[in-house]
A = this chain, B = another copy of it.
Amino acid sequence: MPSYFTSLDRSIQFDATKMTKVDLVRGEALFAGLNCFEPGQSQAVHSHLGADKFYLVVSGKARIAVGEEEQIAGPGTVVFAPAGVPHGVSEALEQTVLLIAMAPPPRLKT
């Protein structure tokens, strides 16, 4: 049985060619993971039908957009994207790690 305890630091992975997504927690109702960006990388604006999501900026600095709002967010900023509201990471200004949580969880690609 996998442990209930994991380390965020050990899960961080960067890729020079694109932002990365790392799974941390995948339950029936709740998903958590990391999005890791090299400076200049981004995540296109998108929205999730019926799923709420939040970001916590763990480290770094990024321009994050939700709905009509856009802010430069640093460590400790929590960003909420309610179901259906477009959101994205316009640009990572530094090497940036975002914790994300999403409910219900995104479907696994098959």
Query: What CA separation (Å) do A87 and B99 show in the bound complex?
Result: 22
> Quick check: is A104 within 8 A (CB to CB) of the other chain?
yes
Interface size bracket, A side: 35 or more
**In the bound complex, what is the Cα–Cα distance between A66 and B73 (angstroms)?**
32
Known: A103-B103, A103-B104. A50 touches B78 (CB 8 A): no
The stretch among A13-21, A28-36, A39-47, A88-96 that forms the contact with chain B is: A28-36
Known contacts A29-B51, A30-B30; 19 additional CB pairs below 8 A are A4-B82, A5-B66, A5-B71, A5-B73, A6-B77, A6-B78, A7-B76, A7-B77, A8-B77, A24-B80, A25-B52, A25-B78, A27-B52, A29-B83, A30-B54, A32-B54, A52-B103, A56-B99, A101-B103
